[in-house]
Amino acid sequence: MGKYGIVMTTFANEQQAKPVIDEILRCRLAACVQEIKIKSHYTWKGELCHDDEDLVLFKTRKELYPELEKKLLEIHPYETPEILCVDVENGSAAYLAWIDEQTPGK
């Protein structure tokens, strides 16, 4: 497993995502955050749902994942938010060094 990860979550819209993104960046739990408009299809409480959402990707060091997950669970507006960490196997050495600089943490 690599040292870096991309943590994914979704929000109903940009207005819902922005305060969470700002808090994660303020806490230096992620170096960079990207927002992508998506269409989500899923079953929730027995009903089929088809919603427009914002997919948010947090670029971070995996050792910060427990703290990042805890913070997301504290401030995320969803009852059961998607929080997934995808391992980054490889990446540009300069970019990965920048992630280290931006997330000094542990």
Residues spanned by the domain of 51: 4-102
- What was the pLDDT predicted at 1? 61
Give the tens place of pLDDT for each residue, 23-76: 999 999 999 999 999 999 999 999 999 999 999 999 999 999 999 999 999 999
pLDDT at 21: 98
Contact 41, 96 (CB under 8 A): no
Q: Residue 106: pLDDT above 70?
A: no
Q: Which tokens hold the place of 79?
A: 């009852």
User: Is 105 a residue whose pLDDT tops 90?
Assistant: no
Tokens for 87? 């391992």
CA distance 73 to 88: 23
Beta bridge partners of 11: 54
| The model's pTM | 0.94
CATH code, 24:
3.30.70.120
pLDDT on residue 2: 80
Question: Per the structure, how many domains does the chain have?
Answer: 1
